[in-house]
A and B are shown apart, each in its own frame.
Chain A
Amino acid sequence: MTSMESDKCWQECMDVAVQIARSAGQVVREAVKQEKRVSTKSTPADLVTEADHQVEELIISTLRERFPSHRFIGEESSAAGEKCILTDSPTWIIDPIDGTCNFVHSFPMVAVSIGFAVKKELEFGVIYHCFEETLYTARKGQGAFCNGLRLQVSKEKDVSKALILTEIGAKRDPKTLKIFSGNIEKLLSAPAHGVRIIGSSTLALCQVATGAADAYYQYGLHCWDIAAAAVIIREAGGVVIDTSGGPLDLMSRRVVAAGSQEIASYIVQQLQPISYERDDNGHSTQ
Chain B
Amino acid sequence: MDRIMLSFARRKVLCGKFSASVLGKAFERIPRATYPSTRNYSSSLKEMTVRDALNTALDEEMSADPKVFLMGEEVGEYQGAYKISKGLLDKYGPERVIDTPITEAGFTGIGVGAAYYGLRPIVEFMTFNFSMQAIDHIINSAAKSNYMSAGQISVPIVFRGPNGAAAGVGAQHSQCYAAWYASCPGLKVLSPYSSEDARGLLKAAIRDPDPVVFLENEILYGESFAVSPEVLDSSFSIPIGKAKIERGGKDVTITAFSKMVGYSLQAAEILAKDGISAEVINLRSIRPLDRATINASVRKTNRLVTVEEGFPQHGVGAEICASVVEESFEYLDAPVERIAGADVPMPYAPNLERLAVPQVEDIVRAAKRACYRLVPKSAAA
Are both chains from one complex? no
